[in-house]
């Protein structure tokens, strides 16, 4: 059906799927040149300009069976795959004023609120079973605002365990309601890097007090902390430990996870996911408000880039989903078949003989 | 220049704290007659006196210099107390009993918070209290995004030694430009016990319609494992007296962003309502309620006018008269 196009797509996408060690995360996905499609996560778009869709729209609506297209000897096993979404919060009131923020709990600006809402539109179709945020309001608000756009309409509920009473008081007494809830777990370990004595100072003050080069060194080094503060290494230590301890088990159990946090705590996690060196992580910049998706599969993290924005012409590739797949992701997408355009493609990475399955998820309302 | 106008302004604001309504960018008197103006672009701040004597009302009015008789222009400690009830939450939308379950706002609730913020954008705020629930905290943050004074709300963390240490600010100047936000479970919504998470039908099935109605509307009968309004009031008012009143006494302007029942409890205390009266008290969501705290007393001032409302928000009798006079002067 769309075999010819697929091949071309495959070929052109080849170079974009090699996890590049030194890649910088850009706003668009690595595979943007694959196919251009228009979609929108809003409630009004009916446009779905996928090229081959126009020729055979109904047939591509159904999930294709990989086994039946005889391309490879791949056995489509029901493998457990979970989505991991990382979102860095947007502009805070101190960003706007150019003050070192660190762990000072400063809220978002209107722009930061917008960024959170935009981020939410990009992930509105990715299933989420549990949310982790830091203990700072700017990350929590980002998570809540992003989830306001979510189409599944499950309700995020923040967990309270700071005391026996807090735990008791936040209990939900209806099973049905619990099922419709997405637990939100707040953790200081996901906080921004603590900037010690730089917190609250502007560039001038820090230059006056400590000297420009010293400050630059603190900001850009991996292991040199500012006075009474954390180095990136220290931040990474507690963030990654928490990630391995609390978040990975959720992914292993097949849960889809969203982490709404900060520049440095997320970089630390990405450093772990992508196995970056300390040199590489220093130059890694995660865009604010642009979600980053990873697929966790068979113990490995596969970076999938950023889901398409509502008004972007681009392609965002997820993973294969079996038709027999009873994973929640499969069911989730099936349930939204009327709204979600699902298309299978086989990509080769590095070697043409090594098939890797990719799923295109496009929003169509 | 506009002496008579100025004098009127003086007399009409004699009850307001001098110098506390910091007129950094705009007119400090706007709150008295803000009519149909949007706060962020307050060049159209249609305060009549502003158009006559903009500079003079921008400066803090020096009452001592006023020749107005009988008024001893003492610097009296008057503080503003703003109460804001958060707007629609995701469970409100679904008609589920929420209580202390920490459910966030809907887009409508977000808008309500922003609107509330516009109404109070000219009222000074020195410290903010909220509950430990995100819907109240977000309401406070979103409301403050509209504030014209542009001080930055900073949530205070004291849950542990480390949390306290990590949230330290090392610049005096920055600290001065910060509004501390203190979160307190004592300001949480009434805890609804075994009703939490249930919808009307489930509760009716499980407990019976009348019983549920009784729990909701009585003063002192708690649902199973939950709080009665009385119990909620006890911890909310105790906190208010303990932590918030001292701030007001010290002349600080306070904003409280909280919930239906915790705020009713506080209003019950402020207005000395009976338990019967408080049961029928409904506080609108997203509409701030202002009180002036003066000489140990709370004077209810109602709700500051919304940005698109043609209305008058009278702080004091003199202000109302002043406004009438201005009305007669315009056009």
Note the pLDDT of residue A186. Answer: 98
Name residue, tokens 């159904």: A62
The average pLDDT across A279-296 equals 92
What is the band of A323 on the pLDDT scale with cuts at 50, 70, 90? very low
Active site residues of B: 86, 189
Question: How many Å apart are CA B172 and CA B194, to the nearest integer?
Answer: 47
Closest CA to A122 of A354, A330, A328, A318: A318
d(CA A222, CA A279): 8
Report residue B303's pLDDT band, with 50, 70 and 90 as the boundaries. Answer: confident
Please say if the pLDDT value at position B313 is more than 60.
no
Answer yes or no: are the C-beta atoms of B221 and B215 closer than 8 Å: yes
User: Which of A173, A250, A227, A311 shows the shortest CA–CA distance to B206?
Assistant: A173
Structure tokens at B311: 């209305």
Do A144 and B104 lie within an 8 Å CB cutoff?
yes
Residue B244 has pLDDT above 90, yes or no: yes
Do residues A295 and A82 touch, judged by C-beta distance below 8 A?
yes
**What's the per-residue H, E or C state across chain B?**
CCHHHHHHHHHHCCCCCCCCCCCCCCCCCHHHCCCCCCCCCHHHCCCHHHHHHHHHHHCCCCHHHCCCCCCCCCCCCEEEEEEEECCCEHHHHCCECCCCCECCECHHHHHHHHHHHHHCCCCCCCEEEECCCHHHHHHHHHHHCCCCCCCEEEECCCCCHHHHHHCCCCCHHHHHCEEEEEECHHHCCCCCHHHCCCEHHHHHHHHCHHHHHHHHHCCCCCCCCCCCHHHHHHHHHHHHHHHHHHHHHCCCCEEEEECHHHHHHHHHHHHCCCHHHHHCCCCCCCCCEEEEEECCEEEEEECCCCCCCCCCCCCCHHHHHHHHHHHHHCC
Strand order in the sheet with B78-85: B152-155, B178-183, B127-130, B254-258, B78-85, B289-294, B297-302
Give the β-pairing of A181-186 and A155-158: parallel
Model pLDDT, residue A306: 85
Distance of CA B14 to the CA centre of its chain: 21
Domain B79-329: assigned CATH number: 3.40.50.1240
Predicted TM-score (pTM) of the model is 0.72
Asked if pLDDT for residue A353 goes beyond 90, the answer is no
- Output B182 or A150, whichever has higher pLDDT: B182
Give the single-character DSSP code of A67.
G
Q: What is the pLDDT of residues B219-230, one digit of tens each?
A: 999 999 999 999
pLDDT tier, B328 (very low <50, low <70, confident <90, very high otherwise): low
Q: What is the pLDDT of residue A254?
A: 96
Is residue A192 flagged as an active site residue?
yes
Give the span between the Cα atoms of B284 and B251, in whole angstroms: 27
Q: Would you say residue B73 has pLDDT above 90?
A: no
Contact A172 B196 (CB under 8 A): yes
Is residue A39 within 8 Å of A48, Cβ to Cβ?
yes
Burial class (CB in 10 A: 0-12, 13-18, 19+), B324: exposed
**Cβ–Cβ < 8 Å for A200, A108:** no
Q: Mean per-residue pLDDT for A112-119? A: 96
Contact between A170 and B110 using a beta-carbon 8 Å cutoff: no
The whole-number average pLDDT for the span B25-43 is 38
Do residues A277 and A284 touch, judged by C-beta distance below 8 A? no
pLDDT one-digit tens code per residue, A246-271: 999 999 999 999 999 999 999 999 99
Q: Which of residues 106-145 of A touch B (CB under 8 A)?
A: 106-110, 113, 135-137, 140-141, 144-145
- Residues in chain B with CB shorter than 8 Å from the CB of A116 are none
- Give A-chain residues touching B261 at CB under 8 angstroms: none
Residue A96 distance to chain B (closest CA, Å): 11
pLDDT at B19 over 60: no
- pLDDT at residue A38 is higher than 70: no
Write down the residue that tokens 């006890």 correspond to.
B234
Distance from CA of A360 to the nearest CA of B (A): 29
CA B207, B210, B216, B218 torsion-angle sign: negative
Question: Mean pLDDT score of chain B, rounded to an integer?
Answer: 78
Cβ atoms of B102 and B90 within 8 Å: the answer is no
Let me know if A81 is a catalytic residue: no
Secondary structure of residue A132 in the 3-state scheme: strand
Residue A4 has pLDDT above 50, yes or no: no
Lowest mean pLDDT among A332-341, B119-128, B311-320: A332-341
Say whether A172 sits in a helix, a strand or coil: coil
Mean pLDDT of B72-87: 78
The first and second tokens of residue A327, run together, are 């994973």
Strands B297-302, A257-261: pairing kind:
unpaired
Q: Which has more confidence, B81 or A25?
A: B81
CB burial string B237-267: b at 16+ within 10 A, e below? bebbeebbbebbeebbbbbbbbbbbbbbbbb
- The answer to whether residues A327 and A83 touch, using CB atoms and an 8 Å cutoff, is no
Closest CB to A107: pick one of B107, B141, B195.
B141
DSSP string of A304-324, one letter each residue: EE-PPPTT-B---B-----SS
Residues of B in contact with A200 (CB under 8 A): 168-171, 174-175
The answer to whether B237 and B266 are in contact (CB under 8 A) is yes
Asked if the model's pLDDT at residue A274 lies above 50, the reply is: yes
> What pLDDT does residue A83 have?
96
Q: Which of A148, A160, A197 has the CB atom closest to B107's CB atom?
A: A148
If one counts every other C-beta atom within 10 angstroms of the C-beta of residue B296, the result is 9
Does the beta-carbon distance from A104 to B144 stay under 8 Å?
Answer: no
pLDDT at position A15, please?
Answer: 34
CB pairs under 8 A between A and B: 135
The neighbouring-strand residues paired with B299 are B292
What does the pLDDT look like over B126-149, one tens digit per residue?
A: 999 999 999 999 999 999 998 877
The pLDDT score that the predictor gives to residue B248 is 97
Whether B82 shows a pLDDT value over 50: the answer reads yes
Bridge partners, residue B108, by sequence? none
Non-local CB neighbours of A226 within 8 Å, separated by 6+ positions = A195, A196, A197, A198, A210, A215, A218
Output the pLDDT for position B297.
95
Gap between the Cα atoms of B254 and B244, Å rounded: 8
Comparing CA positions, the residue from A141, A40, A127, A19 lying closest to residue A91 is A141
Model confidence over A155-205: pLDDT tens digits?
999 999 999 999 999 999 999 999 999 999 999 999 999 999 999 999 888
Region A104-133: mean pLDDT is 95
Q: Which residues contact B198 (CB under 8 A, 6 or more apart)?
A: A173, A174, A177, B96, B97, B206
- Which region among A66-70, A205-209, A314-318 has the lowest average model confidence (pLDDT)? A66-70
Establish whether B99 is an annotated binding residue. Answer: yes
Q: Is B92 annotated as a binding residue?
A: yes
Domain layout of chain A by residue ranges: 2-12+16-364
Work out the percent of chain A whose per-residue pLDDT is above 90.
Answer: 55
Residue of B nearest to A185 (CA): B102
pLDDT number for residue A267: 95
Query: Maximum Cα–Cα distance for chain A, whole Å?
Result: 69
Closest Cβ–Cβ partner in B100, B167, B170 for A105: B167
CA distances from B327 to A249, B42, B301 (A): 68, 20, 21
Residue B86 pLDDT > 50: yes
Both tokens of B256, joined, read 């409280």
- Average pLDDT of chain A, as a whole number: 73
Which residues in chain A are closer than 8 Å to B173, comparing Cβ atoms? 205
Task: Indicate the pLDDT class of residue A238, thresholds 50, 70 and 90.
Answer: very high
- More confident of the two residues B204 and A11: B204
- Output the CA angle B136-A188-B106, nearest 5 degrees: 30
> Considering A81, A115, A118, A192, which one is annotated as catalytic?
A192
How far apart CA A10 and CA A69 sit, in angstroms, is 15
Rounded-to-integer distance, Cα B209 and Cα B192, Å: 16
Which residue from B134, B144, B196 is facing A144, i.e. has the nearest CB?
B134
Would you tell me which CATH number, out of the four given (3.30.70.2200, 3.40.50.720, 1.10.287.1400, 3.40.50.1240), belongs to the domain A2-12+16-364?
Answer: 3.40.50.1240
Instruction: Note the pLDDT of residue B321.
Output: 52
Q: Which of A77-86, A220-229, A310-319 has the lowest mean pLDDT?
A: A310-319
Mean pLDDT of A65-84: 56
What is the pLDDT confidence band of residue B306, given thresholds at 50, 70 and 90?
low
Band of pLDDT at residue A360, cut at 50, 70 and 90 = very low
Question: For residues A313 and B62, which has the higher predicted lDDT (pLDDT)?
Answer: A313
């Amino acid at each position: 059906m769309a075999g010819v196009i697929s091949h071309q797509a495959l070929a052109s996408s080849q170079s974009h799927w090699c996890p590049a060690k030194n890649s910088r995360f850009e706003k668009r996905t690595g595979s943007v040149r694959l196919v251009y499609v228009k979609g929108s996560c809003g409630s009004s778009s009916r446009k779905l300009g996928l090229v081959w869709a126009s020729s055979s729209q109904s047939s591509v609506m159904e999930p294709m069976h990989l086994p039946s297209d005889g391309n490879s000897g791949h056995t489509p096993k029901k493998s457990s795959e979970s989505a991991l979404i990382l979102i860095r919060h947007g502009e805070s009131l101190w960003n706007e004023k150019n003050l070192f923020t660190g762990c000072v709990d400063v809220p978002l600006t209107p722009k930061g609120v917008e960024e959170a809402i935009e981020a939410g539109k990009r992930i509105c179709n990715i299933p989420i079973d549990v949310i982790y945020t830091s203990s700072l309001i700017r990350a929590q608000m980002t998570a809540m605002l992003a989830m306001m756009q979510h189409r599944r309409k499950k309700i995020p509920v923040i967990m309270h365990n700071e005391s026996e009473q807090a735990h008791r008081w936040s209990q939900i007494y209806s099973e049905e309601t619990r099922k419709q809830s997405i637990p939100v777990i707040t953790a200081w370990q996901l906080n921004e890097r603590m900037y010690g004595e730089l917190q609250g100072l502007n560039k001038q003050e820090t230059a006056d007090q400590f000297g420009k080069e010293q400050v630059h060194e603190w900001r850009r080094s991996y292991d040199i902390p500012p006075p009474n503060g954390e180095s990136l290494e220290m931040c990474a230590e507690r963030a990654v430990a928490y990630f391995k301890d609390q978040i990975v088990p959720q992914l292993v159990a097949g849960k889809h996870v969203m982490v709404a946090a900060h520049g440095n705590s997320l970089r630390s996690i990405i450093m772990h996911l992508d196995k970056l060196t300390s040199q590489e992580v220093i130059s890694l910049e995660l865009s604010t408000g642009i979600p980053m998706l990873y697929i966790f599969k068979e113990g490995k993290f596969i970076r999938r880039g950023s889901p398409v924005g509502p008004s972007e012409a681009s392609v965002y590739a997820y993973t294969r989903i079996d038709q027999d797949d009873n994973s929640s992701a499969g069911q989730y997408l099936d349930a939204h078949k009327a709204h979600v355009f699902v298309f299978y493609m086989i990509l080769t990475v590095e070697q043409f003989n090594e098939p890797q399955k990719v799923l295109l998820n496009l929003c169509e309302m």
